[in-house]
Amino acid sequence: MIITKKKDFTEFLNIIQNYKSLFLIGCSECAALCGTGGDPELATMKEALEKEGKTVTGTMLPKTGCQTLGTKIELKKDKEACEEAEAIIVMSCGAGTQSAVEIFPNKPVVPSNDSLFLGNMTRFQMFDERCSLCGECILDKTGGICPVTSCPKGLLNGPCGGTDNGKCEVSPDIECAWVRIYERMKKINQLDELKKPLSPKNWSANRKPATLNTREKKEEKK
């Protein structure tokens, strides 16, 4: 899931200072789980903005904010409220915000969250980064633990000389990713795999901006 955090409210008010009327869009998926864009957050944001003298013309919680077409269809019922608003506030991730940009090509769209990383929820509203979207996954070779993301140096062959009793030299708060990989591979009887050095990664696999068209493959199969 995409992990987001709310922007500081005072900073956010500064960003939207020129807009009096606003329509709020959340997201039922990642942002709802992060507590940054679900129903309760939409209600809290509406109340907070109204206290600041803003008019909230409406709120909408799409099923998946980054699914542009689906969100556009869901927003049809809110057409008038969206038209009345000077700006659209998106309480999801950067992708959800850019869905709204496509849906409202002639209206300012402002994110209320910062998008941080792709991660897992480890406990309620606690998140750890797990994947850097490198485009060429090597988890099969590292016991399912990602060194690109979990090692601050992104070492493909580790550990480095700084590992200290299972901790990372960058911070004692970080478990050394390569010690974790070693322990995991030991448990699953794959230590021999660690004797094979990993080749340098093809970083062009995560060239930006990436695109993917799975339709072409389906059409080829026909």
Q: Residues in the site for ligand SF4, rule: CB under 6 A?
A: 131-134, 137-139, 146, 148-149, 151-153, 155, 158-160, 162-163, 168-170, 176-178
Which of residues 57 and 163 has its CB atom nearest to ligand SF4 in the complex? 163
Phi-psi region of 85 (alpha: psi -120 to 50; beta: other; left: phi over 0): beta
- Min separation Cβ 197 and ligand SF4, Å: 14
CB of 118 to ligand SF4, least distance (A): 8
Work out how close the CB of 94 gets to ligand SF4 at its nearest, in angstroms, rounded to a whole number: 18
CB of 111 to ligand SF4, least distance (A): 24
In contact, 65 and 34? CB cutoff 8 Å: no
For ligand SF4, the closer CB: 121 or 138:
138
Strand 87-90's sheet: what is its strand order?
55-60, 21-25, 87-90, 109-111
Q: In what order do the strands lie in the sheet with 113-123?
A: 2-6, 113-123, 126-131
Nearer to ligand SF4, 32 or 168 (CB): 168
Of the two residues 84 and 183, which places its CB atom closer to ligand SF4 in the complex?
183
Rg from Cα positions in the chain: 22
Which CA distances in Å does 58 have to 23, 49, 55, 103, 222? 5, 12, 9, 16, 45
Residue number, 70 or 152, with CB nearest to ligand SF4: 152
CB of 119 vs ligand SF4, minimal distance in Å: 11
C-alpha 159/C-alpha 123 separation (Å) is 28
